[in-house]
């Protein structure tokens, strides 16, 4: 996901929600090896030709925003996404360790929607809310840029409902640690 040129430098990513269809972890928190496996899978699915190394490098560069003072990021993932093996176990272990590393960062809040949470909404795809003027939604075949206030309000409502059941802090860290420990059991 790349922010449109007209919004770069003017908007802060406040919220990110992963989809209910249990898609992989967000690009802003991916290790280089995990990102490489995601690019390989996406390229194969879309039967496209892509420079994997360039994609991984660009994704790693964009992550620098996580460390910029004055920025604010809130990420939300589904617990099953922590257990999905779309890469080798050692790569997933490193990815989960990376997620654990965001706890304590002043610019990042990470929440997890746990298994068994009672949901009042059914999100069908991942999305990002940038301030209150832009939502970017990802489907399997398209990336949508929504600027209509009614559409943005709808995504905000979904985000708020998911936030209501998500856990953060120590509870979220425990879910990530449990997923990490499960890798050693298989």
Mean predicted lDDT score pLDDT of the chain: 84
Q: Give residue 123's pLDDT.
A: 76
- Separation of alpha carbons 38 and 29, rounded Å: 13
Token output for 106: 């002043």
Winning range, highest mean pLDDT, from 5-9, 62-66, 154-158: 154-158
Average pLDDT in the 15-26 region?
45
The more confident residue out of 172 and 184 is 172
Distance of CA 118 to the CA centre of its chain: 21
3-class state of residue 151 by DSSP: helix
The more confident residue out of 138 and 34 is 34
Average pLDDT in the 142-155 region?
93
Residue 26's closest CA among 119, 89, 108? 108
Confidence of residue 7 (pLDDT cuts 50, 70, 90): very low
Output the CA torsion sign for 8, 12, 18, 20: negative
Q: Tens digit of pLDDT for each residue in 72-85? A: 888 999 999 999 99
Q: Has residue 10 got a pLDDT over 50?
A: no
Average pLDDT in the 133-140 region?
87
Residue 121's closest CA among 19, 13, 16? 19
Token output for 116: 């068994």
Contacts of 63 (CB under 8 A, 6+ apart): 28, 29, 30
Q: Has residue 16 got a pLDDT over 80?
A: no
């Amino acid at each position: 996901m790349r922010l449109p040129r007209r919004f770069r430098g003017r908007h802060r990513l406040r919220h990110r929600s992963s989809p209910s269809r249990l898609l992989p972890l967000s690009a802003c928190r991916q290790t280089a090896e995990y990102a490489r496996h995601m690019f390989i899978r996406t390229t194969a699915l879309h039967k496209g030709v892509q420079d994997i190394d360039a994609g991984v490098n660009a994704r790693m560069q964009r992550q620098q925003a996580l460390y910029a003072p004055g920025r604010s990021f809130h990420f939300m993932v589904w617990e099953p996404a922590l257990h999905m093996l779309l890469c080798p176990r050692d790569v997933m272990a490193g990815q989960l360790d990376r997620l654990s590393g965001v706890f304590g960062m002043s610019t990042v809040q990470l929440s997890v929607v746990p298994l068994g949470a009672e949901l009042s909404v059914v999100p069908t795809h991942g999305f990002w809310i940038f301030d209150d003027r832009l939502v970017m939604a990802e489907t399997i075949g398209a990336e949508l840029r929504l600027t209509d206030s009614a559409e943005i309000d709808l995504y905000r409502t979904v985000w708020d409902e998911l936030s209501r059941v998500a856990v953060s802090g120590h509870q979220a860290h425990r879910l990530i640690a449990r997923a990490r420990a499960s890798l050693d059991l298989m």
